[in-house]
């Protein structure tokens, strides 16, 4: 972590999936800018690792082991944050996962699981924080979507869940905007992490990230800090006129297809 700044001084943020690659980067980013962080993850050990990194940098937080699809566990985590640091200012619905698969490979159980973690969990977490945020007339929610929610890129259940998350983002923004709560979404393209799906792809093809870079007009795939920077903007007061937006952080992937242009061009 570099030097601390003031943007989130005195603020409290709950970040789900914060034991994972992107969630950890978001947690470190908001902590570096002054926030106290609820580091929530279903894997308590990785939440603790993130917390240790925060504390090493002089920030404060709590490691919270909870499953975002379980209402009671989420409510307990929110209560623990309240007891330790006061009311929550920010919720980042980041926890999520995807399985590899075409439609023919997805069975009903797999479909339900993708929807539960990528969509239902965000609903559960939002419901747990909304009453207190609305009572104070202040709050910011950022949902982590994916380019898979915008165009078909494989993983159909994951894509449907992320598309649903965009719709839920808009519903939250519209219903709770008048109560002082802004809700926005960040939709990343491929982000280089060591999650299982990327590890499997890399085992099959060690050059996967270099190959994928051809599809990105900026010439590279993303890194977790690319997503963290977008979250840090959307959750901050300087974004007070931004509500219901979907900030696509995808190196140009969904804006156009450089590989297609290369193949179409007449010269």
Q: Residue 168: name the closest of 124, 112, 123, 137 by CA.
A: 123
Residue 13 vs 68, nearer CB to ligand NAD: 68
Is 204 designated active site?
no
Q: Does 17 bind ligand NAD (CB under 6 A)?
A: yes
Q: Does 22 bind ligand NAD (CB under 6 A)?
A: yes
Residue 15 vs 173, nearer CB to ligand NAD: 15
H or E stretch covering 30: helix 21-32
- Distances in Å between the Cα of 171 and the Cα atoms of 41, 89, 126, 147, 234 are 25, 19, 12, 19, 17
- DSSP string of 169-203, one letter each residue: HHHHHHHHGGGTEEEEEEEE--B----HHHHHHHH
Is 162 designated active site?
yes
Residue 21 vs 130, nearer CB to ligand NAD: 21
**Which listed residue (14, 20, 125, 182) binds ligand NAD by CB under 6 A?**
20
Q: Residue 38: name the closest of 9, 59, 58, 21 by CA.
A: 59
Query: What's the CA gap between 221 and 63, in Å, rounded?
Result: 30
**Which listed residue (46, 159, 184, 243) binds ligand NAD by CB under 6 A?**
46
Binding mask 60-89 for ligand NAD (x = CB under 6 A): -------xxx--------------------
Q: Select which of 8, 11, 56, 162 is catalytic.
A: 162
- DSSP string of 146-173, one letter each residue: -GGGTS--S-HHHHHHHHHHHHHHHHHH
**Which listed residue (60, 75, 82, 97) binds ligand NAD by CB under 6 A?**
97
Alpha carbons within 13 A on the beta-carbon side of 140: 24
Residue in this structure with the two tokens 């280089």, named with its chain if needed: 192
Q: How far is the CB of 99 from ligand NAD (least distance, A)?
A: 11
Q: Select which of 158, 176, 192, 216 is catalytic.
A: 158
Q: Does 188 bind ligand NAD (CB under 6 A)?
A: yes
Contact positions vs ligand NAD (CB under 6 A): 16-17, 19-23, 41-43, 46, 67-69, 94-97, 117, 121, 144, 146, 188, 190-191, 193, 195
Instruction: Report, as residue numbers or ranges, the catalytic residues.
Output: 158, 162
């Amino acid at each position: 972590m570099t030097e601390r700044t003031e943007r989130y001084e005195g603020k409290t943020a709950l970040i789900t999936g914060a034991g994972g690659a992107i969630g950890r980067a978001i947690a470190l980013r908001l902590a570096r800018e002054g926030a106290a962080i609820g580091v929530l993850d279903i894997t308590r050990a990785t939440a603790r690792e993130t917390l240790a990194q925060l504390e090493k940098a002089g920030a404060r937080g709590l490691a919270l082991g909870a499953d975002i699809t379980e209402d009671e566990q989420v409510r307990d985590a929110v209560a623990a944050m309240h007891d330790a640091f006061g009311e929550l200012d920010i919720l980042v619905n980041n926890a999520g996962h995807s399985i590899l698969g075409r439609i023919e490979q997805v069975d009903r159980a797999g479909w339900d699981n993708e929807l539960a973690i990528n969509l239902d969990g965000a609903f559960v977490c939002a419901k747990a924080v909304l009453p207190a945020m609305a009572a104070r007339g202040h709050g910011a929610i950022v949902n982590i979507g994916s380019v898979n929610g915008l165009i078909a890129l494989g993983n159909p259940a994951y894509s449907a869940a992320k598309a649903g998350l965009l719709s839920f983002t808009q519903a939250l923004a519209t219903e709770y905007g008048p109560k002082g709560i802004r809700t926005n979404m960040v939709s990343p393209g491929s982000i280089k992490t060591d999650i299982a799906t990327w590890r499997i792809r890399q085992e099959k093809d060690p050059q996967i990230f270099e190959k994928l870079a051809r599809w990105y007009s900026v010439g590279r795939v993303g890194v977790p800090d690319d997503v963290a920077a977008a979250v840090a903007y959307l959750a901050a007061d300087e974004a007070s006129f931004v509500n219901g937006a979907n900030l696509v952080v995808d190196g140009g992937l969904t804006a156009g297809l450089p590989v297609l242009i290369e193949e179409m061009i007449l010269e």
